[in-house]
Amino acid sequence: MNKKGFTLIEIIVLIVMAGILLPAIIVPFVAGVRGSGKPEMATTAMYLAHQRMEELMKFNYGKTPELDPTSPISLQNSPISGYQWGYEILYVSSIDLMAAGSVNPPDTKYKRIRVQVTDPESSTYEVYAVVTNFPL
């Protein structure tokens, strides 16, 4: 009786154990693969935010209407499908002056630009910059 091989009982036990262990291994792997697109979305959103910020930063502080203070951000479709972007421009101290009751805050010679991008999963990314009025 020197036969090599597995018995039927051993094979059935192996199949049952594999049936229990494989889902425990596969489920986290599938979840990881499903979420692997998030870094790409974050990179794309930050690219769009920086692109829009660069477009706004090229304007002269007080000589172009593109840098006039704006109302709060309203998102619009960006050039890349599924992403939305918007921006707001405020005088740096306008929030404090608005709280004090001033309707039209004075020009403080500093403007804050905030660009906001929303990705297809509704995560929000923001980029800030401050521009000033340097005399020429």
The CATH number linked to 71 is 3.30.1300.30
Residue 59's pLDDT is 82
Residue 117's pLDDT is 94
52 domain-assigned? yes
Query: Looking at 70-74, 121-125, 131-135, which range is the least confident one?
Result: 131-135
20 domain-assigned? no
74 domain-assigned? yes
Task: Report the number of distinct structural domains present in the chain.
Answer: 1
Q: Which residue has the higher pLDDT, 64 or 53?
A: 53
Segments forming the whole domain that contains residue 128: 37-132
State the Cα angle at 132 between 131 and 134, rounded to 5°.
135
121 domain-assigned? yes
SS3 of residue 20 by DSSP: helix
Residue 5's pLDDT is 82
21 domain-assigned? no
pLDDT digits (tens, 9 = 90+) for 1-58: 677 888 899 999 999 999 999 988 888 888 777 767 788 889 999 999 999 999 888 8
Name 108's Cβ contacts closer than 8 Å, sequence gap at least 6: 91, 92, 93, 94
Residue 11's pLDDT is 93
pLDDT digits (tens, 9 = 90+) for 68-119: 887 778 888 988 999 999 999 888 765 554 555 555 556 667 888 899 999 9
59 domain-assigned? yes
111 domain-assigned? yes
7 domain-assigned? no
